[in-house]
Amino acid sequence: MHAVNVEPYETVTINGIARNVDAGISEVVRENLENSKQVTICPRVVTVDHQGSYSKIQVRLCNMSAKCVTLKHKSDICLISEVKVLDTIASDFTLDMPKDHWQSPHEDLKVKMGIENMTHAQLNRL
């Protein structure tokens, strides 16, 4: 393996390796380490790719400094925590759907949203 260089103001995606991840864990959220000042981890829910004694996890690194950052092989770069994804937002949501479908996902989460006064742009972001 080799070191990873992250140039100033650059974002790179690498395959990180985690050991001792329970085989029943399928999704994790990646977060910054508390003492990490070199790079920022873009928090995101990712799928765990189990490979026997270790697991691969994609990690997106952001270097927001004006200096190149070099991460040595086997460096601790992020913290992962198990998450349970209850529902995903469909990318095929359209305004053609009946009004009762617009509110049902929010009602399932016990969130009340009045959509009557929303613009098309706001409705598209739902």
Q: Give the per-residue pLDDT at 52.
A: 85
Can you tell me the distance from the alpha carbon of 93 to that of 107, in angstroms, rounded to the nearest whole number?
Answer: 17
Using only C-alpha atoms, the chain has a radius of gyration, in whole angstroms, of 19
CA-CA distance, 71 to 49, in Å (whole number)? Answer: 22
Task: Tell me the longest C-alpha to C-alpha distance in the chain.
Answer: 56
Query: 0.75 exceeded by the pTM?
Result: no
Distance of CA 50 to the CA centre of its chain: 18
How far apart CA 54 and CA 23 sit, in angstroms, is 10
pLDDT tens digit sequence for 24-44 = 888 999 888 877 777 888 888
pLDDT of residue 68: 92
Same domain, yes or no: 74 and 94: no
Q: Calculate the alpha carbon distances from 93 to 3, 34, 36, 100 in Å.
A: 42, 37, 38, 13
Statement to judge: residues 49 and 100 lie in one domain: no
Are residues 65 and 15 part of one domain? yes
Which CATH number belongs to the domain containing residue 30 in this structure? 2.70.40.10
Please check whether residues 65 and 104 belong to one and the same domain.
no
Are 46 and 106 contained in the same domain?
no
Mean pLDDT of the chain: 79
- Report the number of distinct structural domains present in the chain: 2
pLDDT of residue 67: 92
Q: Residue 8's pLDDT is what?
A: 92
Question: Can you give the residue range of the structural domain that contains 39?
Answer: 4-82
Under 8 Å between Cβ of 76 and 69? no
